[in-house]
Amino acid sequence: MVSISEVKDSQSQQSRTAAHTHIKGLGLNEHGIAKHIEGGFVGQNDAREACGIIVDLIKSKKMSGKAILIAGPPATGKTALALAISQELGPKVPFCPIVGSELYSTEIKKTSALMENFRKAIGLRIKEIKEVYEGEVIELTPEEAENPLGGYGKTISHVIVGLKTAKGTKSLRLDPSIYESIQKERVSIGDVIYIESNTGSVKRVGRSDAYATEFDLEAEEYVPLPKGEVHKKKEIVQDVTLHDLDVANSRPQGGQDVLSMMGQLLKPKKTEITDKLRNEVNKVVSKYIDQGIAELIPGVLFIDEVNMLDMEIFTYLNRALESSIAPIVVLASNRGLTTIKGSGDDTKYAHGVPPDLIDRLLIVKTLNYNLEEIKVIIQKRATLENLSLAPEALEKLSKHGLNTSLRYALQLLTPAGVLSSTNGRNEITLEDIEECELLFLDSNRSTKVLQDNKTFL
């Protein structure tokens, strides 16, 4: 007997870890109170509860056009909080994360790059009610007729399709053009299909589950027999972003001649979309919203390292936030008092943000972790990377996390794991950590080397 077993991919998922793989949500209870260790977070209770309120405001659509600043020292979970907000909102709400330096592109203007990301963070849910014929194909008979142009060949005059649902059956006489669509979809008797009555387009949903007992070597998707009548009204929902609409309208399809095809091939990679085009798209979107065809879904634009932005972008950001169609903007900064590029003076501003913009921000603060919290974070990270830590090794790494930086402590984990396995141990010991310290310098020791060695280039 042939044995067939499924390949488990849990190992591959565990081995591929990123900086915030462990973040699963904000870790709040049903009353919005943060659990101390939950959802991949440890501590930062006030910041998580504040973000929980922001999530509720976004879901109730009372946050559009407003901005939040997450401010705190490095490695205190600012990016993790933004990712947790996106996970709490779910996959249907657009989330666009960028770093401040991404806006400085050589291809398009920085203000245009900012507006492009703004539009990526605004979703549009288009609901369309279509009349369809849906069911399992029980008959598929093309009817031929004499060729009207003469000759020996015959043409298909129409096609008879019988559809069956849980409530009954219906025979349809369809146009020969629809028969071409049926052939393209490779529809056969026993398939579940739906035909749009307005456009005549045919969509094969899958094979009816009544045939699921067949021994079929090909991978086939089996679907249940449709409920209700054969002829019905069906709501079709499409989710797009405003940027998708901008791009679709900025690249009209040319003719089929050589010159137009060459023009499309030679187009630059990025096309700068004009404000005039965006305004025209906005007018059409507003019209659809008023008619009830579409629904606007303000998403989240997350700009990390906001101190990288200059005065021109900050001014444009102020104007963009005041527009009628705007997303929720989440900024993150690990700077205290610092200068702003392009301000023309050496004045230091809080978090590197101009006073007129910071006045309209809701500021969420993150705090440094204590020793016990750092221990829990390192232990969680070790578990995620499938590493085992001896108690004294965990203590040593935790002190590094407190005195140097949490990032340095976490970065030592993987090389220490390599050293322990090379030495034939299943557990990372204190010796492995000490050897890693000699091999990899932290920022404080590296600075000291530079200060002591004046000839170091």
Q: Could you state, in order of their start, the residue ranges of all structural domains in the chain?
A: 17-121+299-365, 124-293, 371-452
What CATH number labels 371-452?
1.10.8.60
CA distances from 210 to 194, 207, 366 (A): 18, 8, 57
Question: Are 17-121+299-365 and 371-452 the same fold in CATH?
Answer: no
Sign of CA dihedral 311, 315, 316, 320: positive
Strand partners of residue 170: 163
Contacts of 349 (CB under 8 A, 6+ apart): 337, 338, 339, 340, 343, 355, 358
**CB-based contact 302:101 (threshold 8 Å):** no
Cβ-Cβ contacts under 8 Å for 402 (sequence gap 6 or more): 369, 370, 371, 374
Q: What are phi and psi of 30, to 5 degrees?
A: -65, -20
Tokens 């669509």 found at? 181
Beta-carbon contacts of residue 11 (< 8 Å; ≥ 6 apart):
none
* 3-class secondary structure, 191: strand
CATH of domain 17-121+299-365: 3.40.50.300
First and final CA of the chain: distance in angstroms? Answer: 69
Candidates 2.40.50.360, 3.40.50.450, 1.10.287.3510, 3.90.1570.10; CATH matching 124-293: 2.40.50.360
Looking at residue 356, what is its pLDDT? 84
State whether the Cα torsion 335-341-346-347 is positive or negative. negative
DSSP tag of 225: P
Using DSSP, state whether 345 is helix, strand or coil. Answer: coil
Asked whether 386 and 420 are in contact (CB, 8 A), the reply is: no
Residues facing 203 on adjacent strands: 194
For the entire predicted model, the pTM comes to 0.68
Tell how strand 294-298 and strand 122-146 pair up. Answer: antiparallel
List Cβ neighbours of 164 (8 Å cut-off, separation of 6 or more). Answer: 135, 136, 138, 225, 230
Burial class (CB in 10 A: 0-12, 13-18, 19+), 276: exposed
Q: What is the CA radius of gyration of the chain?
A: 30
Backbone angles phi, psi at 115, to 5 degrees: -65, -35
- Dihedral angle at the C-alpha atoms of 140, 144, 148, 149, nearest 10 degrees? 90
Q: What is the pLDDT along the chain (457 residues), one digit of tens a residue?
A: 455 544 444 443 444 556 666 677 788 888 778 888 877 788 888 888 888 888 888 788 777 667 889 988 888 888 888 888 888 888 788 888 888 888 887 677 888 888 888 888 888 888 877 778 888 888 888 887 776 665 566 677 778 888 888 888 888 888 777 877 888 888 888 888 888 877 777 888 888 877 766 555 455 677 888 887 877 777 777 788 888 888 877 765 554 455 444 455 555 555 667 888 888 888 888 888 888 888 888 888 888 888 888 888 888 888 888 877 788 888 988 888 888 887 777 888 888 888 888 888 888 888 888 888 888 888 888 888 888 888 898 888 888 888 888 888 888 888 888 888 888 888 888 888 888 888 888 888 888 888 877 666 5
Q: What is the token pair recorded at 132? A: 């369809």
What is the structure's pLDDT at 9? 45
pLDDT at 296: 83
Residue 288 Cα to chain centre, angstroms:
25
